[in-house]
Amino acid sequence: MKKIIYLVAVMSLFGCAQTTSDYYYASLEGISDVEITSVGKVSLEKLKENSEIPTSYALKRDGYNLRFLIGNKSYFPHFKIIVESSSGARLSLKPRRNKEVVSAEGTICASYYPDAQNPSKLDFGWSSGCLSDDIPKLISFDIVDTNGGLVAQEDLPFKLKKDGKYTLLDAI
């Protein structure tokens, strides 16, 4: 009982509160040439009331293929993007971050995290502060060969879709 009283006292001193938010995921449904390759339920500890959604997409282009995976790692819209050459050549993904796409509060909406161990992989994230329909939603990156030569540029539109709610402890 003393532990509970102590915890409540500490939480009131530091201003912690539970915050419930809608869970949004990035969707490529309806985008030309993109196929849904897997459907499943996202499994995050605090995510509730969610359903099965597309968790894997494929896009086949001349000379390369792209995969987009939604994982169980974030409460924010995200993809792990993987490029594979049709011929077996090594390809890399290079982000093109548009710092002018921002929320009303000035938050840059898109984040890109290249995989330092494997340049054919790239993590893409979208800020939860950028949910407005007025904000253009694009995943922009270049595909380059081992010499740094440009193979292709991609600017793929996506949509944000709501699927469930999550509750986290937040500082006030």
Q: How do residues 146-167 score in pLDDT, each as one tens digit?
A: 999 999 999 999 999 998 788 8
- Residue 90 maps to a domain: yes
- Residue 9 maps to a domain: no
The whole-angstrom separation of Cα 9 and Cα 63 is 61
- Residue 108 maps to a domain: yes
- Residue 10 maps to a domain: no
- The confidence score (pLDDT) of residue 46 equals 81
- Between the CA of residue 128 and those of 24, 65, 74, 131, what are the distances in Å? 8, 29, 11, 6
Q: Encoding tokens for residue 147? A: 């010499």
- Residue 71 maps to a domain: yes
Question: Number of folded domains in the chain?
Answer: 1
DSSP character at residue 111: E
- Between the CA of residue 46 and those of 14, 70, 71, 107, 157, what are the distances in Å? 22, 17, 15, 25, 28
Q: Is the pLDDT of residue 39 over 90?
A: yes
Mean pLDDT to the nearest integer, 12-31:
80
Mean pLDDT to the nearest integer, 66-73:
90
The whole-angstrom separation of Cα 153 and Cα 96 is 9
- Between the CA of residue 34 and those of 48, 60, 74, 79, 164, what are the distances in Å? 28, 8, 23, 14, 24
- The confidence score (pLDDT) of residue 167 equals 83
Q: Encoding tokens for residue 137? A: 């939603």
The distance from CA 45 to its chain's CA centroid, rounded to whole angstroms, is: 17
- Residue 143 maps to a domain: yes
Backbone angles phi, psi at 117, to 5 degrees: -90, -25
- Interacting residues of 60 by C-beta distance below 8 A, sequence separation 6+: 33
State pTM to two decimals: 0.85
Q: Which domain holds residue 136?
A: 20-171
The whole-angstrom separation of Cα 135 and Cα 113 is 21
- Residue 7 maps to a domain: no
Backbone angles phi, psi at 109, to 5 degrees: -75, -45
Contact by Cβ (8 Å): 95, 105:
no
- Residue 28 maps to a domain: yes
The whole-angstrom separation of Cα 32 and Cα 154 is 13
Q: Is the pLDDT of residue 51 over 80?
A: no
Mean pLDDT to the nearest integer, 5-28:
70
